[in-house]
């Protein structure tokens, strides 16, 4: 099969899939510091898309724009077809229930038990769970999916770093999100725990059929979880492709990502 046919097949396959997230020409500057310079992204249903970028390349700024914590100067961000830059607070809150976040620092509440940490999003998004009288089945299901059902009454201080990461993932999953956003999921973890988290991400993807956007520096993580990758350089898409395609590139800037 020739390359043109290949590209046509991939384009056809993608056009038949549902677009979960679409970022078009996103721009953000702080004075003369032009951080995002026309960043584009398409995340399709069920896909694992990895974004790699060096420190300072604009990953966090992109995430903040995506979750509505920062306003972009221009460009559009569509979550399941809705432009979040044009939504009011209530609409934005509703669409947020479709996105699960796994933040770098886990963001667990130290003064709450594991159960209370998991109940928090259920209480915050009451509307989605209007008819829910007993939270236990949802909490048990989320904890079982990360292999930590026995920790339900523990405090975060009683958990290891890897366990905290799993609980944070369970807390993201409890809302049954359609999209999961992972921000440096393996940062601060030892190699063995990193491997476990990567494996868990794959399992969760299968069980919950989520679409995932994964921001990472970790080449091993990208190799295992990515179906497609975008390399972010100076706030724009420098290169895109599968891990194998990018890892075998002759371009010096691309090679630097895989060293």
Ligand X SMILES: Nc1ncnc2c1ncn2[C@@H]1O[C@H](COP(=O)(O)OP(=O)(O)OP(=O)(O)O)[C@@H](O)[C@H]1O
Task: Give the Cα separation of 227 and 47 in Å (integer).
Answer: 7
DSSP three-state, residue 6: helix
Closest contact distance (angstroms) between CB of 35 and ligand X is 4
Contact mark string toward ligand X, 40..69, x via CB under 6 A: -------------x-xxxxxxx--------
CB of 58 or CB of 121, closer to ligand X? 58
Q: Which letter, b or e, does each residue of 173-212 get, where b requires 16 or more Cβ atoms within 10 Å of its Cβ?
A: bbbbbbbbbbbbbbeebeeebbebbbebbeebbeebebbb
Binding mask 24-43 for ligand X (x = CB under 6 A): ------x--x-x--------
In whole angstroms, how close is the CB of 30 to ligand X at the nearest point? 4
Of 61 and 204, which has the nearer Cβ to ligand X? 61
- Given the complex with ligand X, which of 37 and 135 has the nearer CB atom? 37
Residue 202 CA to residue 192 CA, distance in Å, equals: 16
How many residues in the shown chain lie near ligand X by CB under 6 A?
A: 11
Min dist CB 227 to ligand X, Å, is 22
Q: Which is nearer to ligand X, 175 or 189 (CB)?
A: 189
**At its nearest, how many Å lie between ligand X and the CB of residue 32?**
11
Closest to ligand X by CB, 42 vs 218, is: 218
Three-class DSSP category at 152: coil
Closest approach, Cβ 133 to ligand X, in A, equals: 41
Cα–Cα distance, 182 to 48 (Å, whole number): 10
Shortest distance (Å) from residue 29 CB to ligand X: 9
* CA gap 113, 220 in Å, rounded: 32
**Inter-residue contact 167 to 151 (CB < 8 Å):** yes
Scan residues 226-245 and list those touching ligand X (CB under 6 A).
Answer: none
Helix, strand, coil % over all residues of the chain, rounded to 5: 45, 25, 30
Number of Cβ within 10 Å of residue 18's Cβ equals 11
Residues 204, 209, 149: CA angle, nearest 5 degrees: 30
Question: Whole-number minimum distance, CB 144 to ligand X, in Å?
Answer: 32
Identify residues 156-175 at the interface with ligand X (CB under 6 A). Answer: none
Q: 79 vs 233, which CB is nearer to ligand X? A: 233
Nearer to ligand X, 70 or 132 (CB): 70
- Cβ-in-10-Å burial (0-12, 13-18, 19+) of 33 comes to exposed
- In three-state form (DSSP H/G/I as H, E/B as E, the rest C), the secondary structure along 171-205 is HHHCCCCCEEEEECCCCCCCHHHHHHHHHHHHHHH
Interface ranges with ligand X (CB under 6 A): 30, 33, 35, 53, 55-61
């Amino acid at each position: 099969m020739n390359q043109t046919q290949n590209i046509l097949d991939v384009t056809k396959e993608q056009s038949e899939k549902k677009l979960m997230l679409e970022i078009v020409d996103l721009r953000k500057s702080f004075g003369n510091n032009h951080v995002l310079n026309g960043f584009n992204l398409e995340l399709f249903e069920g896909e694992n898309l990895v974004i790699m970028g060096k420190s300072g390349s604009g990953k966090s700024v992109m995430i903040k724009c995506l979750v509505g914590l920062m306003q972009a100067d221009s460009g559009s961000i569509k979550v399941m077809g809705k432009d979040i830059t044009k939504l009011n607070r209530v609409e934005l809150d509703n669409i947020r229930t479709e996105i699960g976040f796994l933040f770098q620092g886990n963001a667990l509440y130290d003064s709450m038990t594991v159960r209370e940490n998991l109940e928090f999003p259920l209480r915050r998004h009451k509307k989605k769970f209007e008819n829910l009288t007993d939270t236990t089945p949802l909490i048990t299901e989320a904890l079982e999916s990360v292999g930590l059902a026995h920790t339900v009454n523990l405090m975060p201080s009683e958990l290891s770093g890897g366990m905290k990461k799993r609980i944070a993932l369970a807390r993201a999953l409890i809302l049954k999100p359609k999209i999961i956003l992972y921000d440096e999921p393996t940062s601060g973890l030892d190699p063995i725990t990193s491997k476990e988290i990567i494996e868990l991400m794959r399992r969760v993807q299968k069980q919950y059929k989520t679409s995932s956007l994964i921001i990472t520096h970790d080449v091993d993580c990208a190799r295992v979880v990515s179906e497609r990758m975008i390399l972010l350089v100076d706030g724009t898409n420098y290169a895109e492709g599968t891990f194998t395609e990018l890892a075998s590139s002759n371009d010096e800037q691309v090679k630097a990502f895989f060293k």
